[in-house]
Amino acid sequence: MRQMITTRSKAVANIVAEAERTRKAAQRKTPSIQDNWNFLKQKGFGYCKESRPVAMFDYDKGRMLYDVLPDGTWRGQRCFIIGGGESLKDFDFSKLKNEMVIGVNRAYEKMDCMVNFAMDNDLYGWITNGKLGAEAKKKFEDYKGYPVWLDSIGYNYPQGIFILNKSESRNLGNNMKDGIMGGTNSGFGALNLAVYLGANPIYLLGFDMKGKDGKQVNWHNEYPEKQGEKVYKAFINDFNRVAPELKKRKIQVVNLNDESELKCFEFGRFEDIKKIDRPVIASYYTKDSDYEKQVKELIISLRRLNLEYDIKAIEDRGGWHKNTYWKSTFVLNTLKKHRGRSVVFVDADAIFRQSPILFNDYNCDFAYHYYNNKELLGGTLYFGNTNGARYVAEQWVEIDKEKMTTHMPQKNLQALFGRIQHKVKWKHMPIEYCMIFDCHQRRHGKLHPVIEHFQLSRKNKDQHYKSSKYKLKSGLSQIQKLCKGKRMCILGNADSMMNHMRGKEIDSFEIIGRMNRGKPQGIEKFIGKRTDILFLSTGLSRKSIEVAYEKAKFVVWMTEDHHLAHDWVLRNAIQNPIKDWRALHKRLGKNPTTGMMTLKFVLKYLDFKSLTIYGYNFLRTKSWYNTKPDKGIKHSGKKEEPLFMEMIKDRKNVKFMK
């Protein structure tokens, strides 16, 4: 990648000055920004993947706004754009709570707009260096929406600022990747963005397009560099140019200031806009617990989406189990507190990824997600604040009082709802509104969550079941201590293991390591019965491990593919260092087998007295529990064998049983 520079760089200034002198000498017209960038690129500066107009270099992944708010995200939803006009001086911005809002320039000072859009990099400098005042700087630092700047001149914005490229076209485009038409003012660029996001109708607030006494006027205390009133003429011309195209696309744009000089859109009044019934997002957490840290992420996500919430901290009620059983009481109390408002309960370890538009004017008493038609998920629950909703909550409180010994209060709710569902109006919620972070669809990008849950309860449930007899030791130092100075063997799973009855021989070792599904039940006379360490690269549950491997003391997760592992394994197993897996992968050109990874782990990290290796034949045949051999698609036995021999060469205390 070429040198990365900013427009404030002296090198850039010198090159642009040289270009201007050359043009003047040739009696050419004043150079455009595009002319300057083309000249810079000829000098070897800048980096542009594909053919993005005027962008000097690519930003890190995730810096572009369309990575977090793709085109069409707000399709069919109304949107408000906050301009800078003086008419907003006394406006009550709390009326925009729960709405899709794009703020222009300094709107972040009034509210957490979902997006705060700007074009001038000078504005960013004025905010961050305090030229707009300490309060404006502090509010920007505390702003939780998406701060977005149009990258018109390649300014090097820091991480945390979202970027949109500028389009050189004068026509409305179709997607953000083609760039935003910025025009002469940020309000015009914000309108273009709202169109890309799919908003319809679009309401304009503070688009006065007029000044006083020949000067530009705003609802805020203006900018260090002031412009004259004549700038509004150019602003209005931009809007006049695109108004016919918006009408042709059937995108309704409404100017909410009937005294505005912007006449190309229909006028309306804020008071006449129909109110949408949107819920209060409610949750609670236990003080001084893991949830106290996690709930901060939930609050940030709610602020980012301009959602109203009611989140309560409670004292520990006597352990995780009792704290969870307060959920039904909390829901009932919240319904009473916000009488007339619907309520969406979410667990404190949730994050809102998108605006929950499903709940707008949601006409039902109760909604939930029934996972695989087997389990009612309690992470996200909708209550319509109707008589039916309060009835569900009241009955839930009563059944929780009766059955405090059940595993989870959501099971009580599921049992209750099975009895009373004919008495209330209910709906089934899509999985996107109650998506668990590591579920199959989430991992493989098939579905995109609206509300995502991280299930800290898994950790706390393990703490609750401390009486369980089976518990792994999970520290590398512990496994090293166990194996130090011991006679050890590791067992591969080649079918040749069934050719010799070595069960007693294998069980005589002080430490026995097995791999994957090589469980000894029924074939103990061939491979022994005891297991001390299970080297694992496949999806085995806690119960399977406990039953099949006679309570192995250690599980070592061998690969970097964590999505293959059960949650209990990920929380309790030792992780084979990822760098070791990657080093083998690089050397072999394919995924290393569990056997290869196991050998490297044992040789590198364990100080054994002796090591005997059984059941390795480098994929020449199938394993004794599989019917098909590996054909070299995932692994390479031909490359592993010489590497294996190289690793054990000259090790007198290592014996390979072919």
pLDDT in tens, 103-114: 999 999 999 999
Q: Are 326 and 315 a contacting pair, CB within 8 Å?
A: no
Q: What is the DSSP letter of 64?
A: B
Q: Is it the case that residue 465 has pLDDT exceeding 50?
A: no
Question: What is the percentage of the chain residues whose pLDDT exceeds 70?
Answer: 84
Q: Which pLDDT belongs to residue 69?
A: 86
Q: Are 494 and 624 a contacting pair, CB within 8 Å?
A: yes
Q: Which pLDDT belongs to residue 46?
A: 42
Q: Are residues 268 and 293 in the same domain?
A: no
Question: Per the domain annotation, does 4 fall within a domain?
Answer: no
CATH number of the domain within which 102 lies: 3.90.1480
Question: Per the domain annotation, does 51 fall within a domain?
Answer: no
CATH number of the domain within which 492 lies: 3.90.1480.20
- Domain that residue 242 falls in: 65-272
Q: Which pLDDT belongs to residue 18?
A: 60
Q: Is it the case that residue 366 has pLDDT exceeding 50?
A: yes
Q: Are residues 209 and 297 in the same domain?
A: no
Closest CA to 551 of 539, 542, 561: 542
Q: Are residues 423 and 545 in the same domain?
A: no
**Last residue within a domain, chosen from 272, 304, 335:** 272
Q: Please indicate whether residue 230 or residue 390 has the higher confidence score (pLDDT).
A: 390
Closest CA to 490 of 655, 338, 364: 655
Question: Per the domain annotation, does 468 fall within a domain?
Answer: no
Q: Are residues 437 and 481 in the same domain?
A: no
- Could you read off the pLDDT of 75-87 as tens digits, one per residue? 999 999 999 999 9
Q: Which of 29-43, 317-331, 424-438, 460-474 has the lowest mean pLDDT?
A: 460-474
Question: Per the domain annotation, does 550 fall within a domain?
Answer: yes
**Last residue within a domain, chosen from 411, 438, 463:** 463
Q: Name the token pair of 63.
A: 């810096």
Q: What is the DSSP letter of 95?
A: G
Q: What does the mean pLDDT of the chain come to?
A: 84
Q: Where are the beta strands (DSSP E) in 333-416?
A: 343-346, 350-352, 366-371, 375-383
Rounded-to-10 torsion of CA 583, 584, 586, 592? -140
CA end-to-end distance (rounded Å), the chain:
51
Which residue's structure tokens are 């069960």? 503
Q: Are residues 426 and 545 in the same domain?
A: no
CATH number of the domain within which 306 lies: 3.90.550.10
Q: Which pLDDT belongs to residue 54?
A: 29
Say how far apart CA 68 and CA 162 lie, in whole Å.
9
Q: Are residues 436 and 565 in the same domain?
A: no
Please, which residues bridge with residue 284 across strands? 312
Q: What average pLDDT does this structure show over 14-37?
A: 53
Cut 0.75: pTM above it: no
Q: Which pLDDT belongs to residue 17?
A: 60
Question: Per the domain annotation, does 470 fall within a domain?
Answer: no
Contacts of 181 (CB under 8 A, 6+ apart): 166, 167, 169, 170, 171, 172, 173, 188, 189, 192, 242
Q: Are residues 200 and 99 in the same domain?
A: yes
Within 10 angstroms of residue 26's Cβ, the number of other Cβ atoms is 7
Question: Per the domain annotation, does 48 fall within a domain?
Answer: no
Q: Are residues 286 and 258 in the same domain?
A: no
Question: Per the domain annotation, does 58 fall within a domain?
Answer: no
- Confidence class for position 447, pLDDT limits 50, 70, 90: confident
Q: Are residues 158 and 261 in the same domain?
A: yes
Q: Are residues 239 and 90 in the same domain?
A: yes
Question: Per the domain annotation, does 49 fall within a domain?
Answer: no
**Last residue within a domain, chosen from 239, 272, 305:** 272
Q: What average pLDDT does this structure show over 345-365?
A: 92
Say how far apart CA 353 and CA 30 lie, in whole Å.
46
Q: Which pLDDT belongs to residue 2?
A: 37
Q: Is it the case that residue 470 has pLDDT exceeding 90?
A: no
Q: Are residues 363 and 392 in the same domain?
A: yes
Considering only the C-alpha atoms of the chain, give the largest distance between any 2 of them, rounded to a whole number of Å: 101
Q: Are residues 102 and 217 in the same domain?
A: yes
How would DSSP label each residue in 440-453? Answer: HHHHTTSS--SEEE
Number of domains in the chain: 4
- CA–centroid distance for 472 within its chain: 31
- Could you read off the pLDDT of 190-203 as tens digits, one per residue? 999 999 999 999 99
